[in-house]
Amino acid sequence: MKKICTFGAGLLLLVLVMAGCAETNAAPSATPTTVQPAPAGLYGPELAAQAFQKGGCGACHIIPGVKGAVGTIGPDLTNINQTAQAALDKGEYHGSAKTVQEFLAESIRQPDAYIAPDCNGAPCQKGLMPSTLADLFNDEEINAMVQFLMNPPKEEASASQEENAPTPAAQTELINEEEFAWAKQVYFERCAGCHGTLRKGATGPALTPDKTQPKGTLALASIIFNGTPRGMPDWGKQGFLTQQQTEIMAKFLQEEPPTPPEMSLEQMKATWKVLVPPEKRPTSPQTRRDWENYFIVTLRDAGQVAIIDGDTYEVVDRVDTGYAVHITRMSASGRYAYVIGRDGKLAMIDLWTEIPQKVAEVQVCYDARSVEVSKYNGQEGDFTDKYAVVGCYWPPHFVILDGQTLEPFKVVSTRSYTFDTEEYHPEPRVASIVASTYKPEWIINVKETGLIWLVNYADPNNPTIKMIEAARFLHDGGWDASKRYFLVAANQSNKIAVIDALEGKLAALVDTPAVPHPGRGANWVDPEFGPVWSTSHLGEGAIVSIGTDPEGHPDSAWKAVRVTPLPGSGSLFIKTHPNSPWIWVDMALNSDPALSRTVCVIAKKDPSKVYQCWEIATYGRAVHMEYNRQGTEVWVSVWGDASKPGETGEIVVYDDATLQEKTRILNLVTPTGKFNVYNTVNDIY
Ligand code: DHE
């Protein structure tokens, strides 16, 4: 068994305990990692520092005097002796230790004996630090670490410790070609979204060799296996990666990142297919169903969307789309659904045919997350259903396409300079895109540079672009109720940027708790502060509401006027409807399985606290809420596991007035986002 050390919850020393994790990726067998014993002849602080290095404890803890020990997942160990004394004095400690020394030693051997309350501002989590530790260190090493923590050095790492610390190069173990190819694919599928294709960091930290090599294989593998409280998934615990596989990934991350290929317009056009030409499509709806009450449901791991009748709950059709399909947006008329996969494949579905039908498809990049349409209809022309735009992660560009056929015709690179330090960035990815109704304009959020581009598509071959300085790293967002202001999360800056689409300028930057993640947010009227837009957060259990009515409620405008506490962090989405008395919120990425399948509602008339929370299933995660057209029902996805029959996923439908369950739409494969046609066209959230 391979082991790893880090202090986190309690005092974390992580051993990668791996038992029976389902293998979902056929990986090559790992090159063995050998845990080296501490060099003989070391003692005292030097032996302790060596032991901390050996286990990679610094990946999760700040340990004064230990080179590279600046991790923030576990508690800061600078004053851990005092924290331990306080826990013993207050009787909070439930282990068998009677002294601080015993406490520290026990925390290494049995990390869950006591869960420290503060992991750098967030609550520490049970189970983050695996419990089988004793075989990693001998008694001498544990004793040395305990003595070290009893009296930690005041200064930074001393020269001798620096010398004794293993050099990154010595720690890095190469992987073979087969392992590299496998890890590259897994990185693309699971990691690139947050850390960047070139690993320069965005939602997650940078993972370039200068950052990863000092951490070493053991520490990196432990983070990959166990996740972090700030939203990094626990790939090992979830069963996506085995211990061996996390080690291959950890080694891959210490190598230089490979640069993927570019994609030309010619290559895009080679993938372009018009399956039903516009002239062969019906001129009026051919279905008797209320197609405006269809829900287009992402079936993530099936690479499909299900089109579900919002009146009868029947799955009307399943349409093949892109790999790990991500989101759907409707054309301005609502007739067409545009579905983007993570592989950059865009599918266009006609909702007017008797059975909805894919009418065109194209691939415009290798990695994408967003799609939007032209919505402007005014003095400058009618752009209804005229253009689509896809925002890519790799290559970093956006592509403008014909809205009727998906023929791509304009590619615009987003490679440019960061707004604050004016440094060239090779991978500024396109995050959310929304279409203005005030002007023929898309608001395109360029994640890494922190710039919001106002792209005028009136002459799309010669688009004018206004770049607005905002904050890094831009992610998701939505309109306020008036649709004049667009609010977008700069999630690693803990800010919401507000764009005034009428004036074409930044209206405000609002500070929030850690890692805001609104989806498109929720618009409602606060009894005290008037119209507000709310976001939940990945990094903290809190909903923040921001005043959005500068004319009627100038004192509240663009201020975080209310914080509503949630039982946990890890929230991805929040939703409401103008007809609803409630605001719904998930905690899909909470590391506690019970909370991850819990939804909460907040009463608009008493928004200071949560009204009710409940688990919606016995498996999977509760993720993403959507209302029906009338605003009387809420649909919530149970995001299951495609490899577990009976637990692949379902949608739970609630009566919004009573909060009672109405029905379940069963046996869906990993349903995540759901987009009601009417609500999506009209930006109702
Ligand atoms: Fe998403 C929206 C990016 C992971 C489900 N997601 C968005 C948007 C972006 C984004 C930029 C805004 C699009 C817009 O409005 O134009 N998402 C990313 C990532 O980079 C990230 C963090 C990591 C990744 O590797 O992809 C990521 N997203 C996820 C998931 O794991 C989710 C939960 C399920 C899945 O698809 O795998 C997921 N993202 C969604 C959904 C929306 C979304 C359902 C749209 C919400 C809405 O109501 O509009």
CA of residue 136 to ligand 1 center, whole Å: 39
84 and 119 both lie in a single domain: yes
Domain boundary among 469, 501, 519: 469
338 and 457 both lie in a single domain: yes
Q: Answer whether residue 378 is part of any domain.
A: yes
Q: Side by side, which strands form the sheet with 336-340?
A: 273-274, 357-363, 345-350, 336-340, 327-330
- Residue 173's pLDDT band (cuts 50, 70, 90): low
Q: E strands within 341-493?
A: 345-350, 357-363, 367-373, 377-378, 381-382, 387-394, 397-402, 408-413, 416-417, 424-425, 430-435, 441-446, 451-456, 464-469, 474-479, 485-490
128 and 209 both lie in a single domain: no
* Beta strand 661-665 pairing with 649-655: antiparallel
Q: Answer whether residue 407 is part of any domain.
A: yes
Residue 194 CB less than 6 A away from ligand 1: yes
Residue 339 CB less than 6 A away from ligand 1: no
Q: Residue 9 has which token pair?
A: 């919850």
Q: Answer whether residue 452 is part of any domain.
A: yes
145 and 183 both lie in a single domain: no
Domain boundary among 469, 504, 538: 469
Q: Answer whether residue 369 is part of any domain.
A: yes
Domain range enclosing 216: 177-253
Number of C-beta neighbours around residue 137 at 10 A: 23
Contact of 409 with 400, CB cutoff 8 Å: yes
**Cα→Cα distances 492→221, 370, 513, 522, Å:** 23, 19, 10, 21
Domain boundary among 227, 253, 279: 253
CA of residue 326 to ligand 1 center, whole Å: 6
pLDDT digit string, tens, across residues 185-211? 999 888 999 999 999 988 889 999 999
Residue 251 CB less than 6 A away from ligand 1: no
State the CATH number of the domain containing residue 332: 2.140.10.20
pLDDT digit string, tens, across residues 406-437? 999 999 999 999 999 999 999 999 999 999 99
Report the domain count for the chain. Answer: 3
282 and 411 both lie in a single domain: yes
282 and 387 both lie in a single domain: yes
Pocket test of ligand 1: the residue of 199, 238, 300, 326 to mutate, having most ligand atoms within 8 Å of its CB, is: 326
| Alpha carbon distance 229, 574 (integer Å) | 20
Q: Is the pTM of this model over 0.85?
A: no
Element (H, E) at 499: strand 495-500
270 and 394 both lie in a single domain: yes
Ligand 1, atom 7, lies closest to the CA of 476
The answer on pLDDT for 122 being more than 90 is no
Q: Which has the closest alpha carbon to 149: 113, 99, 114?
A: 99
Ligand 1, atom 47, lies closest to the CA of 519
Q: Answer whether residue 550 is part of any domain.
A: no
* Beta strand 485-490 pairing with 474-479: antiparallel
pLDDT digit string, tens, across residues 431-485? 999 999 999 999 999 999 999 999 999 999 999 999 999 999 999 999 999 999 9
Q: Answer whether residue 353 is part of any domain.
A: yes
**Catalytic residue positions?**
191, 194-195, 232, 475, 517
DSSP letters for 508-523:
EEEE-SSSB--TT-EE
| Alpha carbon distance 231, 242 (integer Å) | 20
249 and 269 both lie in a single domain: no
Ligand 1, atom 10, lies closest to the CA of 369
Ligand 1, atom 14, lies closest to the CA of 432
192 and 89 both lie in a single domain: no
Residue 431 CB less than 6 A away from ligand 1: yes
Distance of CA 465 to the CA centre of its chain: 28
Residue 433 CB less than 6 A away from ligand 1: yes
- Residue 674 Cα: closest atom of ligand 1: 44
Q: Answer whether residue 195 is part of any domain.
A: yes
Q: What is the reported pLDDT for 172?
A: 54
- Residue 39's pLDDT band (cuts 50, 70, 90): low
Q: Give the pLDDT mean for 621-641.
A: 98
Rg (alpha carbons) of the chain, rounded to whole number = 26
Residue 517 CB less than 6 A away from ligand 1: no
Q: Give the pLDDT mean for 1-23.
A: 30
pLDDT digit string, tens, across residues 233-259? 889 888 889 989 999 999 999 999 998
pLDDT digit string, tens, across residues 567-579? 999 999 999 999 9
Q: Answer whether residue 465 is part of any domain.
A: yes
Q: What is the reported pLDDT for 20?
A: 28
The answer on pLDDT for 29 being more than 50 is no
State the CATH number of the domain containing residue 65: 1.10.760.10
358 and 411 both lie in a single domain: yes
The answer on pLDDT for 261 being more than 90 is yes
pLDDT digit string, tens, across residues 331-340? 999 999 999 9
236 and 355 both lie in a single domain: no
Residue 104 CB less than 6 A away from ligand 1: no
202 and 340 both lie in a single domain: no
Q: Residue 311 has which token pair?
A: 């009146």
